Amino acid sequence: TLRSHYEKRTHQNLIGSGIESFLPLIEEIHLWSDRKKKVMEPLFRGYLFVKTDLRNRLDILQTDGVVNFVNTRGKPAAIPDRQIDWVKTVVAHPGTVSREQYLNVGERVRIVRGPFSGIEGIVIRHKGVMRIVLSLEVIFQAVSVEVSETMVERIPVVPTRALRGERTAEAQSKLSGY
């Protein structure tokens, strides 16, 4: 997590220190009484992503703007590379991305056609248009993209046992991180 409004500065500081940092940005229109302006803003306010190991943890925490790591069970949380790749794909297509509330419910789908092919998410409808919400569970953040119903396929439901926290070996092996 970062100090408020320090995302871009902190990202540059980390890169300058040789730490691999990813700050997803989206274009927003800011309105003033006399004008409007397109501005690049962080997709996830207060967050950026670093690819590192624990040896660099102290260097990262001492970087101006960094408050803390997002932790799970007392350790820095890891976001799977696949989810980071999804975010990179989404922000590469300006005009189709909007911030969304993190959702716990909804049908899971995989996009099978178009520029977002392979991305998985949850279906929502916003103003009558279908959107797929891409969730980063570790930081409780989400974004959505607009797609046609013909571009998605259902993802089979996970057996109830797995939902109670009894991970299979396959599911456990997929929990590597960015």
pLDDT digits (tens, 9 = 90+) for 146-156: 887 778 888 87
Q: How many helices (H) and strands (E) does the chain have?
A: 5, 12
Residue 149 pLDDT? 77
Least confident residue range of 20-24, 56-60, 71-75, 174-178: 174-178
Q: Hey, which residues does 72 pair with through a beta bridge?
A: 75
Residue 104 pLDDT? 41
- Per-residue pLDDT tens digits for 97-115: 877 655 344 788 889 989 9
What are the phi and psi torsion angles at 113 (to 5°)?
A: -140, 155
Q: Which domains does the chain have, with CATH numbers?
A: 1-77 (3.30.70.940), 79-178 (2.30.30.30)
Angle, CA of 99, 4 and 177, to the nearest 5°: 60
